[in-house]
C-alpha cells in the first residue's frame, strides 16, 4: 500500500523520537511512488565545504578634490597666452610675406592677368570727358558745338538708351522705357555696355575723343566705367538753377515729343539728379577733375567759357 507524502513524513518523525537508534542508522529517502516507507542508508561525509560568511563591503569615501593652486593657474594661463601670441605672430608674418611677394596665379599667364585688370582703352588710346548737369541745362547744345569745332564724338547716354528701347527685338526695351518714364536710373550694366560698344565702333574708324553726355549718374557707374572701359580726363559740369531748367524743359517738350518732358517726370528727374549725381560732381571736384560752368547766360556766352576752360586742361 502506498502512503501519501505527508503521512510518510509524520511516521518518520515519530520513529525518530521513539527509536533514537533508528534515527542514527536510517535516513529517509526522497519519496517516490516506488520507494518503500523506510530504506536503510549509510551515512556519508559531506564533500561540500561550508560557505564562509560574507564580510560586509566597506565603502571608501573618495578623497576630497582641492582647487588648483594659484601658481598652477598662472602657469596654465601663461602657457596658453604664449602659444596664442606665437600663432598670431606667425600668421601675421605669413600675410605680410604674401602681400610683399604678390605672385600671380601660376595657372594664368601674367600677361593675361594684366589684360583682365586694365580697362578696354587706355588714356593714350582715347580721351574721355564726362558731361554732367541737371535736365534741361543745355548739355546737348554745348556738346554739339564742341563736335562741330573740335571733332569730338558726342555719345549721349540718354540717346543710346532711347535707341536701344526703340530697337526691334531688344530685351531691355520695356525696362528702359519704364525707368525713363519714372525718372529712375537705368541699371549701369546696360548703360556701360551701350557706351562701350559705341566707343569701340568709333575707335575702329579712327575717332578717339569722346564727350559722354549725361553720364555717370551715380558713383558706382563712374567707378565701374573707369575700371572696365576708360579713365576720364575730367568732368564738365553745367550748373544751373531748377527754375531755369524747368522753363527750358517745358519749352522743349512742346516740340520734342519725349515722354519725360512733362512736369511730373521733370520733378522726379530733378530729385534723382540731386540725390545721385551731385555726389559724383563732388567726388571729381575733390580730385581736381571738375570744370564747373554757369549756364544761366546765353548759349554763346556759355560756349566761350567752355572753350576757355577746356583749353586750359588739354589740347582741343
| Between residues 185 and 262, the one the model is more confident about | 185
Mean pLDDT value across the chain: 78
Answer yes or no: is 267 a known binding residue.
Answer: no
| Between residues 238 and 67, the one the model is more confident about | 238
Answer yes or no: is 297 a known binding residue.
Answer: yes
Taking only the tens place, the pLDDT of each residue in 9-40 is: 655 665 555 555 545 545 555 545 444 444 44
Answer yes or no: is 253 a known binding residue.
Answer: no
Answer yes or no: is 186 a known binding residue.
Answer: yes
Answer yes or no: is 215 a known binding residue.
Answer: yes
Answer yes or no: is 221 a known binding residue.
Answer: yes
**In this structure, what C-alpha cell is assigned to residue 185?**
536710373
| Between residues 78 and 156, the one the model is more confident about | 156
Answer yes or no: is 207 a known binding residue.
Answer: no
Answer yes or no: is 307 a known binding residue.
Answer: no
Q: State percent of the chain over pLDDT 90.
A: 33
pTM: 0.58
| Between residues 53 and 313, the one the model is more confident about | 313
For residues 249 and 265, is the Cβ–Cβ distance under 8 A? no
Q: Which pLDDT score is estimated for 103?
A: 47
44 pLDDT above the threshold of 60:
no
Q: Which pLDDT score is estimated for 39?
A: 47
Q: Which pLDDT score is estimated for 33?
A: 47
Taking only the tens place, the pLDDT of each residue in 209-230 is: 999 998 998 999 999 999 999 9
Question: Residues with Cβ < 8 Å from 293, sequence gap 6 or more?
Answer: 142, 236, 237, 238, 239, 302, 305, 306, 309
Q: Which residue is listed with cell 517738350?
A: 253
Answer yes or no: is 269 a known binding residue.
Answer: yes
CATH topology of domain 116-313: Rossmann fold (3.40.50)
Q: Give φ, ψ of 128 to 5 degrees.
A: -120, 130
Answer yes or no: is 185 a known binding residue.
Answer: yes
CA dihedral 149, 150, 152, 158 (to 10 degrees): -40
For residues 124 and 284, is the Cβ–Cβ distance under 8 A? no
Answer yes or no: is 29 a known binding residue.
Answer: no
CA dihedral 191, 192, 193, 196 (to 10 degrees): 130
Q: How confident is the model at residue 196 (pLDDT cuts 50, 70, 90)?
A: very high
For residues 299 and 141, is the Cβ–Cβ distance under 8 A? yes
Answer yes or no: is 225 a known binding residue.
Answer: no
Q: Which pLDDT score is estimated for 210?
A: 96
**In this structure, what C-alpha cell is assigned to residue 237?**
559740369
Going from N- to C-terminal start, the domains of the chain cover 1-41, 116-313
159 pLDDT above the threshold of 50:
yes
Answer yes or no: is 55 a known binding residue.
Answer: no
**DSSP β-bridge partners for residue 290:** 235
Amino acid at each position: 500500500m502506498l502512503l501519501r507524502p505527508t503521512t510518510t513524513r509524520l511516521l518518520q518523525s515519530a520513529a525518530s523520537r521513539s527509536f533514537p537508534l533508528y534515527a542514527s542508522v536510517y535516513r529517509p529517502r526522497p519519496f517516490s511512488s516506488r520507494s518503500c516507507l523506510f530504506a536503510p542508508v549509510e551515512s556519508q561525509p559531506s564533500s561540500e565545504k561550508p560557505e564562509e560568511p560574507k564580510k560586509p563591503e566597506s565603502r571608501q569615501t573618495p578623497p576630497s578634490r582641492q582647487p588648483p593652486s594659484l601658481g598652477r593657474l598662472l602657469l596654465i594661463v601663461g602657457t596658453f597666452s604664449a602659444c596664442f601670441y606665437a600663432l598670431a605672430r606667425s600668421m601675421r608674418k605669413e600675410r605680410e610675406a604674401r602681400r610683399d611677394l604678390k605672385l600671380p596665379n601660376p595657372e594664368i599667364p601674367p600677361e593675361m592677368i594684366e589684360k583682365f585688370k586694365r580697362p578696354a582703352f587706355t588714356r593714350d588710346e582715347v580721351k574721355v570727358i564726362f558731361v554732367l548737369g541737371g535736365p534741361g541745362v543745355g548739355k546737348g547744345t554745348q556738346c554739339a558745338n564742341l563736335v562741330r569745332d573740335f571733332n569730338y564724338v558726342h555719345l549721349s547716354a540718354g540717346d543710346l538708351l532711347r535707341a536701344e528701347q526703340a530697337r526691334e527685338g531688344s530685351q531691355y526695351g520695356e525696362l528702359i522705357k519704364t525707368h525713363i518714364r519714372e525718372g529712375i536710373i537705368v541699371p549701369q550694366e546696360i548703360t556701360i555696355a551701350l557706351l562701350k560698344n559705341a566707343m569701340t565702333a568709333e575707335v575702329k574708324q579712327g575717332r578717339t575723343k569722346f564727350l559722354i553726355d549725361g553720364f555717370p549718374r551715380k558713383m558706382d557707374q563712374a567707378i565701374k566705367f573707369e575700371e572696365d572701359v576708360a579713365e576720364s580726363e575730367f568732368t564738365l559740369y553745367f550748373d544751373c538753377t531748377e527754375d531755369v531748367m524747368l522753363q527750358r524743359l517745358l519749352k522743349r517738350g512742346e516740340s520734342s515729343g519725349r515722354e519725360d518732358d512733362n512736369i511730373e517726370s521733370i520733378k522726379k528727374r530733378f530729385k534723382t539728379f540731386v540725390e545721385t549725381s551731385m555726389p559724383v560732381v563732388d567726388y571729381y571736384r575733390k580730385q581736381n577733375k571738375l570744370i564747373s560752368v554757369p549756364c544761366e547766360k546765353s548759349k554763346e556766352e556759355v560756349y566761350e567759357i567752355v572753350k576757355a576752360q577746356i583749353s586750359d586742361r588739354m589740347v582741343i
